[in-house]
Amino acid sequence: MYKNYYLINLEIKVKTTFQTLHRIFILQQKHLLLCTLENNMNFQADLHTHSIFSDGEMSVGLILQKAQSLGIRYISITDHENTRQNECVQKISKYNNFEIKVIPGIEISTKYQSKDIHLVIYYNPEITKEINFILEPLKEKNLKRVRNIMKELEAVGFNFTNFNINDSRTLNRLCLARYIYNNSNLKTIEEVFQRYLDNYKSEKEKQGYPEANEMIRNFSKLGCFIGIAHPDFLEDWSNIRIIHEFMKEGLNGMEFHHPMINSQLENKILKFLEENSLVPLGGSDFHGYDTKRRELGKYNIPNSSAEYIMKYLKIHTAY
C-alpha cells in the first residue's frame, strides 16, 4: 500500500461546442491528494455503485441511506447507460436531509481492439438531455441482447413472463441472472452464470458495444469527467498504451481501488496516475447483497478526488 503525499498537476480541458465552433480553455491547477490509507477519515468517497435502474439490487434511497450510515461522504450511483438514478436522487433529496453528496454518474460498456473497456462518466445534471441522447441507442442495444438471450433460454424451459422490462431500467445479463436466481432453487447468482449465462459473454455480444475512444471523445466534448473503470486488462502492463491513446481523446482519470484490482496492480496504476496527471478513481462497484459486489464503502478513495470532480464539473452542491 502507498504511504505518501503527492501533487497532481491537472490540465482541465473545458470544451464548449456551438455547431462547428469549439473553444478550449486550459486551466492548470494544483490538486493535492492526501494518499495515506492509515487515515480513513480522508477516504470517504465511493464513486462506483449500482441501483435498480440497471443491475443493482437496491433502490436509490436505500443506497443513500446505507452509504450515509457507513460514513461515506461522497457517492456516485453509476448505473449502466442510464441517468434515471440521478434524476431520482434529485427528487429524494427534496424530502430527505441526506448529508452525503452525490455526483451524477454512469457506467458504459465499450470495446477497443477486442478488449472490454468500461467507462465511468461523471457529469453536470444540467446536461442530462445531451447525455441521454448518446445513451438511448446503447440502452436499445442492451435490451435487444437481453431479449435474444431470453428467447434462447425460453426454448429450454425458462419462463420470463414476470421479468420486469421498462424504459427506466437498463437491462443486462445480471438482471436476468437475478430473476432466475429468485425463481429457482439455485444457491447463488454466480451459479446461475456458470450454468446458463457465461456462454453469452462472447465476441458476438461485444459487436453491439460502442468504441471506447469514440465515447470518450463524445463525452469530453460535453465537458464530462471521464475515467476508466476496473482496468484489469492492465494485468498485461503492455496494454498501458491504450490508456495513453485514450488520454489524447480526453480521459481524466482511472480506477485504482476496486474489487477487481489486486494490490500490486493498484500500486502500478497509482504511480502511473501520478506521473501522468490523472485523477485516482474507484469504488466498491456495489450491486447489492445478493452478489459478490456487496461491500459498499470498502473500496473508498480520497475525498479530494470527489471534490476535484465537483469543481471540474462546476457542481457547487452535489444534490
β-strand partners of 152: none
β-strand partners of 282: 257
CA geometry: angle 2, 257, 278, nearest 5 deg: 80
H or E element, residue 33: strand 21-36
Written as nine digits, the cell of 313 is 464539473
Domain with CATH 3.20.20.140 in the chain: 3-137+205-313
Report the greatest alpha carbon distance in the chain: 60
Using alpha carbons, list the distances in angstroms from residue 229 to 80, 110, 154. Answer: 12, 11, 33
The C-alpha atoms of residue 61 and residue 205 are separated, in whole angstroms, by 33
DSSP secondary structure code for residue 235 in this structure: G
The C-alpha atoms of residue 314 and residue 18 are separated, in whole angstroms, by 19
| Helix spans in 155-239 (H) | 173-182, 189-192, 203-206, 212-221
**Which CATH number applies to 3-137+205-313?**
3.20.20.140
- How many other CB atoms sit within 10 Å of the CB of residue 234? 19
The whole-model pTM stands at 0.85
What is the pLDDT tens value at each position of the chain, 319 positions in all?
Answer: 333 333 333 333 333 333 333 333 333 333 444 344 344 458 899 999 999 999 999 999 999 999 999 999 999 999 999 999 999 998 888 777 788 999 999 999 999 998 999 999 999 999 999 999 999 999 999 999 999 999 999 998 899 999 989 889 999 999 999 999 999 999 999 999 999 988 775 544 555 789 999 999 999 999 999 999 999 999 999 999 999 999 999 999 999 999 999 999 999 999 999 999 999 999 999 999 888 888 999 999 999 999 999 999 998 765 5
